[in-house]
Amino acid sequence: MQKRYMAIWFRHLLTDGLARRRPELKDLPFVLAAPVKNKIIITASSPTAEREGAFTGMAAADARAASGDLVVVDEVPGQAAKLLRLIGLGCIRYTPMVSIDLPDGLLLDISGCTHLWGGEREYLKEIVLKLRAAGFDARAAIADTMGTAWAVARFAQKRPIIASGEQAAAITGLPPAALRLEPEPLERLQKLGFRNIGPLLATAPQALRRRFGQELLLRIDQALGRTEEYRELLVPPVPYSERLPCLEPIRTAPAIEIAIKKLLEMLCLRLQNEGKGVRKAILKCHRIDGRKVQVSITTAKGSHSISHLMRLFELQISKIEPALGIELFVLEAPRVEDMETVQEQLWAEAKGLADTALAELLDRIAGKVGPEAIRRYLPSENHWPERSVKLASTLTEEPQTAWPELPRPIRLLQKPEAIEVMALVPDHPPKQFVHIGKRHQVAKADGPERIGREWWRDKGEHRDYYVIEDSEGQRYWVFRSGHYDGGDAQWYLHGYFA
């Protein structure tokens, strides 16, 4: 069977992915940036930002000068690989052989798959339109080799499908960059006047090897199919699932409990052998009337304790409506995590957040009030108070930075609320303030603490924060926005102390 490959290129991978997560950025000029040698450098630019003159490699300060309303977002390291993996796993429905091509592409071995979609043209069209509908600016090409498909997807203007055996004709007019070369040999080729690949194919291999090394010859051979190219394939996550068919339809709560316990015994045995624990489990009940009902549980920490997971499911059994009866139970664990080996000593006790009893208590509370009601926060590397904390993904996640040493309120308002303030001296702490119609007399005040905006994120005034205590003993965190300019300065309430 003739090998056929598809290369997919995402022209604005990171910015398209960010626009999907934050729709408010979609119509704004925005860029991703990271610190490089004491400068903030743009690493990815959205199409709107490029039209306004902000390009990859520019200093963020220079880009702001070109575009006054430019939004600069911190780049998250490793985001491209993570995003490509998610897209690649979605492409497995089209072919089981998908590999990541960092920093902005995928390579698919589509041999023997395209006829299921009516041919290569319909196959390519189906995938590209799906990706574009998802918000990604994607281009794709099909050829006999990965190298030719890669080159055509990125540099050719026409004919995305290259007929079998026509690799040389397809890449002849493309620039040398289409051979996936490193910057050094590309610069040397540019100086010697090689504007396209055609003259390189007509040059003797010995001469090319002497001047440019073995890499150029290898890339040419890979593109033409003279040398095999191998890639590490994406492996979809192993599903943790157990099934329990019933000889007779089940309609009672005790029978459902027995079914759940049997499923947990099978699932937890497998998880224990692999050193993993459940973070989320879903019980799907297939009724004889053709309908499906399901309940789910979540845990604060990975667990393969049958008794603990059973207690969580017991809180959900009342939500299961068996109707005429349940004929099939399916227990799935879509989210699991690695478990640490427990020290087997009588006197070994876990302390703090590592205490299993604490995690199990939180799970039981979450089963009654909902997992979204329990949150753990960690400090984040941001000056602005609204962005200085983030949600922890697990109970044991370690903070990447220290909490501020200065006092912070136990409750921080998501959005500061405007207050009316009276002060003896305009630039001093308030003596009284009015919030939601109630007047508060200030007995004590401490401050100010000045917090400036992160200039690479947004523009605006700094804030001067005060910790104040009213005559009733309540303590508040308030701030004045910007300098006092002789007019009415704007004050806000931002948090409450215990």
Q: What digits encode the pLDDT tens for the residues 20-30?
A: 988 888 888 99
- Does residue 388 contact residue 458 with C-beta atoms inside 8 Å? no
473 SS3 class: coil
Give dist(CA 450, CA 231) in Å, integer.
53
User: Do 303 and 367 meet the contact criterion of CB atoms below 8 Å apart?
Assistant: no
Nearest Cα to Cα of residue 181 among 162, 203, 208, 159:
208
The predicted pLDDT at position 346 comes to: 39
Are the C-beta atoms of residues 442 and 431 closer than 8 Å to each other? yes
User: In this predicted structure, what is the pLDDT of residue 91?
Assistant: 93
Residue 347's pLDDT is what? 41
Beta strands in 304-453 (DSSP E): 326-338, 377-379, 389-391, 411-422, 432-435, 438-451
pLDDT at 287: 92
Query: Hey, what amino acid is at 318?
Result: S
Count Cβ atoms below 10 Å from residue 239 Cβ, excluding itself. 8
| CA distance to 145, 197, 217, 458, per residue, from 205 (Å) | 20, 13, 7, 54
Q: What is the domain partition of the chain in residue ranges?
A: 81-224, 241-369, 375-498
Q: Rg of the Cα trace of the chain?
A: 30
CB atoms within 10 A of CB 481: 15
Query: Which of 345, 263, 277, 337 lies closest to 305 in space, CA to CA?
Result: 277
DSSP 44-91: EE-HHHHHTT--TTSBHHHHHHH-TT-EEEEPPTTHHHHHHHHHHHHH
What are the C-alpha distances in Å from 236 to residues 89, 99, 233? 6, 11, 10
Q: What are phi and psi of 357, to 5 degrees?
A: -65, -35
- What lies within 8 Å, CB to CB, of 122 at 6+ separation is 114
Answer whether 462's CB lies under 8 Å from 450's CB.
yes
Tell me the residue type at 239.
P
CA torsion 267→271→272→276, rounded to 10°? -150
Residue spans of the chain under pLDDT 70: 238, 341-355, 426, 484-488
- For the domain spanning 241-369, the CATH number is 3.30.1490.100
Tally of residues, the chain: 498
Query: How buried is 401 (Cβ within 10 angstroms: 0-12 exposed, 13-18 middle, 19+ buried)?
Result: exposed
Cα→Cα distances 456→131, 383, 459, 480, Å: 31, 12, 8, 22
Tokens of 238: 């192993």
- Name the burial class of residue 230, with classes exposed (0-12), middle (13-18) and buried (19+) by CB atoms within 10 angstroms of its CB: exposed
Ramachandran angles phi, psi of 65, nearest 5°: -65, -35
Provide the pLDDT for residue 344. 46
Which tokens sit at 116?
């299921």
Q: What are residue 72's DSSP bridge partners? A: 31
